[in-house]
C-alpha cells in the first residue's frame, strides 16, 4: 500500500496523473479499469472517479483516493439501459417511466439492488443508485469499460465537486493515474437523486431535473426534508462542497457590499460570486460572474467556487432564490457556506 493511501489531504504526489483526451484517453481508461484501477471521467453533471463496480478491491481505491468514509454509498454508472436489469432486483412501473423519460441525463434513480452488487458499493444498503450520463465521452468510456462503473464526484472528500478537468487535476493530482479530458460539464451540479423504493418518489438531492419535472411525469414527487436517517442516505450526514476559504451568502445587495467592505478592512481579499444583473451594479469590487439565469448559474457555480478559493480568501455569494433550478443551486451554495448568511 502506497503512502497515498495514508494521506487523505494535502498535495503529496505519489503517482503520475495523466490528463489525456480522445480515443487514447478512453482506451487507456478502459484498460486501467479492467486492471482494477480508478479513472476520472467527465459527465454532464460533474467529473466522476470511477472503478469497476464488481471489483471490491478497485472500489476500495475510490474511497482511499478521495479520503472518503466507506459507508457513503456510490452511484453505479451505465451506458445502456439494458444493463439496469443486472444491477437491480426490481424495477417499478414508476421507475421505468423515469428511466424512459430522463435517462440518459442528470438523474440517479435509487432501486433495490441486485445481489451481485458488492456491499462496498452501496455502503451496506440494500438499494443502489443507477445513473446513465448523457455526456458522449462518458458514454464512450463506460461502453469501452464493458462493466458498470461505481463513481462518486472526482474531488477529495469535503472539497468542491469539479466541472472541468483542470479543477480535477488541481485537487486530485497524485491520487489517480488518469483524468479523461471532457471539457466543461454542461449541467454543472451533481445529478438529482430520486428514491423509488418507497411509496412516493422522493428527491434525496436536488439537481438539474427538478421536483416539478418528476411530478409532471409521475403525478407526485416529494422533496427530501426533515431528519436524515443513516439507513436512508448515509452520505447526507457528511458536510460536502466546502471551498478552502470561508464563504457566506449575501441576502441583499447592501449586505453583500457591507460584508465585502468589512472583511476588506480586516485585511482580507474577498470576491463576490453573483449573477450578471448584480455584477452590473458593482463599483470596483472583485467578482466572478455566474451568468444570466438559473441554468447558467448551475453550470458555473462549482467552477466559480474553485476560482474563488484560488484567487481570493473570502467568498461572498449572492442568494439566488428558491424557484425552480435556483433551489438546486442554493442547495450546493448553502452547503458550501455552511448555512452562514449576511
Q: Least CB distance from residue 10 to ligand TXA, whole Å?
A: 21
Q: Is the Cα dihedral 322, 326, 330, 331 positive or negative? A: positive
Site for ligand TXA in 71-110 (CB under 6 A): 72-75, 108, 110
Check binding of 72 to Mg ion (CB under 5 A): no
Exposed e or buried b for every residue in 152-177, given b needs 16+ CB within 10 A?
A: bbbbbbbbbbbbbbebbbebbbbbbb
Cα angle 61-67-68, degrees, rounded to a multiple of 5: 90
- The region that residue 133 occupies, defined by phi over 0 for left and psi between -120 and 50 for alpha, beta otherwise, is beta
**Closer by beta carbon to ligand TXA, 164 or else 191:** 191
**Closer by beta carbon to ligand TXA, 46 or else 247:** 46
Which of 43, 153, 157, 197 is close enough to bind Mg ion by CB under 5 A?
Answer: 153
Q: Which listed option, Mg ion, ligand TXA, none, makes contact with residue 270 (CB within 5 to 8 Å by class)? A: none
How far apart CA 329 and CA 316 sit, in angstroms, is 15
How far apart CA 132 and CA 210 sit, in angstroms, is 17
Which of 42, 152, 182, 188 is close enough to bind ligand TXA by CB under 6 A?
Answer: 152
Name every residue whose Cβ is closer than 8 Å to that of residue 6 and which is 6 or more positions away in sequence. none
Q: Which listed option, Mg ion, ligand TXA, none, makes contact with residue 196 (CB within 5 to 8 Å by class)? A: none
Span interacting with Mg ion, options 48-56, 109-117, 139-147, 151-159, rule CB under 5 A? 151-159
Q: Which listed option, ligand TXA, Mg ion, none, makes contact with residue 333 (CB within 5 to 8 Å by class)? A: none
Q: Least CB distance from residue 68 to Mg ion, whole Å?
A: 8
Which of 55, 164, 181, 191 is close enough to bind ligand TXA by CB under 6 A?
Answer: 191
Which of 88, 117, 127, 297 is close enough to bind ligand TXA by CB under 6 A?
Answer: 127
Q: Is the Cα dihedral 154, 158, 163, 167 positive or negative? A: negative
- How many residues touch Mg ion under the rule CB under 5 A: the total is 1
**Closer by beta carbon to ligand TXA, 139 or else 191:** 191
Span interacting with Mg ion, options 19-27, 79-87, 145-153, 197-205, rule CB under 5 A? 145-153
Span interacting with ligand TXA, options 27-35, 88-96, 227-235, 255-263, rule CB under 6 A? 227-235
Check binding of 235 to ligand TXA (CB under 6 A): yes
Q: Least CB distance from residue 2 to ligand TXA, whole Å?
A: 23
Q: Which listed option, Mg ion, ligand TXA, none, makes contact with residue 108 (CB within 5 to 8 Å by class)? A: ligand TXA
Site for ligand TXA in 302-331 (CB under 6 A): none
Say if residues 316 and 220 touch (Cβ distance below 8 Å).
Answer: no
216 CB-contact burial (10 Å; exposed 0-12 / middle 13-18 / buried 19+): exposed
* Joined grid coordinates for residue 169: 487535476
**Cβ count near 20 (within 10 Å):** 16
Q: Least CB distance from residue 322 to ligand TXA, whole Å?
A: 21
**Binding region for ligand TXA (CB under 6 A):** 43, 45-46, 48, 72-75, 108, 110, 122, 125, 127-129, 131, 151-153, 190-191, 193, 204, 233-236
**Binding region for Mg ion (CB under 5 A):** 153
Amino acid at each position: 500500500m502506497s503512502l497515498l493511501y495514508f494521506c487523505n489531504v494535502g498535495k503529496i504526489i505519489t503517482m503520475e496523473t495523466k490528463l489525456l483526451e480522445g480515443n487514447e484517453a478512453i482506451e487507456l481508461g478502459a484498460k486501467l479499469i479492467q486492471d482494477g484501477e480508478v479513472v476520472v471521467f467527465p459527465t454532464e453533471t460533474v467529473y466522476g472517479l470511477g472503478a469497476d463496480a464488481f471489483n471490491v478491491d478497485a472500489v476500495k481505491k475510490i474511497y482511499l483516493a478521495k479520503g472518503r468514509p466507506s459507508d457513503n454509498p456510490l452511484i453505479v454508472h451505465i451506458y445502456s439501459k439494458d444493463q439496469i436489469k443486472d444491477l437491480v432486483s426490481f424495477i417499478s412501473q414508476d421507475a421505468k417511466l423515469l428511466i424512459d423519460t430522463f435517462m440518459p441525463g442528470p438523474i440517479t434513480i435509487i432501486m433495490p439492488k441486485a445481489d451481485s452488487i458488492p456491499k462496498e458499493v452501496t455502503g451496506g444498503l440494500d438499494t443502489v443508485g443507477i445513473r446513465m450520463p448523457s455526456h458522449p465521452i462518458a458514454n464512450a468510456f463506460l461502453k469501452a469499460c464493458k462493466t458498470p462503473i461505481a463513481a462518486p464526484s472526482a474531488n477529495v472528500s469535503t472539497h468542491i465537486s469539479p466541472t472541468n478537468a483542470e479543477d480535477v487535476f488541481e485537487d486530485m493530482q497524485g491520487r489517480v493515474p488518469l483524468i479523461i479530458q471532457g471539457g466543461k460539464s454542461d449541467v454543472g451540479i451533481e445529478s438529482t437523486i430520486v428514491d423509488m423504493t418507497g411509496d412516493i418518489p422522493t428527491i434525496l438531492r436536488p439537481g438539474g431535473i427538478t421536483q416539478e419535472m418528476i411530478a409532471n411525469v409521475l403525478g407526485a414527487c416529494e422533496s427530501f426534508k426533515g431528519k436524515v436517517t443513516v439507513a436512508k442516505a448515509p452520505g447526507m450526514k457528511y458536510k460536502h462542497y466546502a471551498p478552502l476559504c470561508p464563504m457566506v451568502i449575501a441576502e441583499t445587495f447592501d449586505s453583500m457590499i457591507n460584508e465585502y467592505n468589512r472583511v476588506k478592512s480586516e485585511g482580507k481579499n474577498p470576491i463576490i460570486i453573483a449573477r450578471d444583473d448584480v455584477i452590473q451594479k458593482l463599483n470596483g469590487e472583485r467578482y466572478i460572474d455566474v451568468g444570466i439565469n438559473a441554468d447558467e448559474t448551475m453550470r458555473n457555480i462549482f467552477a466559480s467556487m474553485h476560482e474563488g478559493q484560488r484567487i481570493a480568501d473570502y467568498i461572498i455569494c449572492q442568494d439566488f432564490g428558491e424557484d425552480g433550478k435556483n433551489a438546486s443551486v442554493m442547495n450546493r451554495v448553502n452547503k458550501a457556506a455552511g448555512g452562514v448568511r449576511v
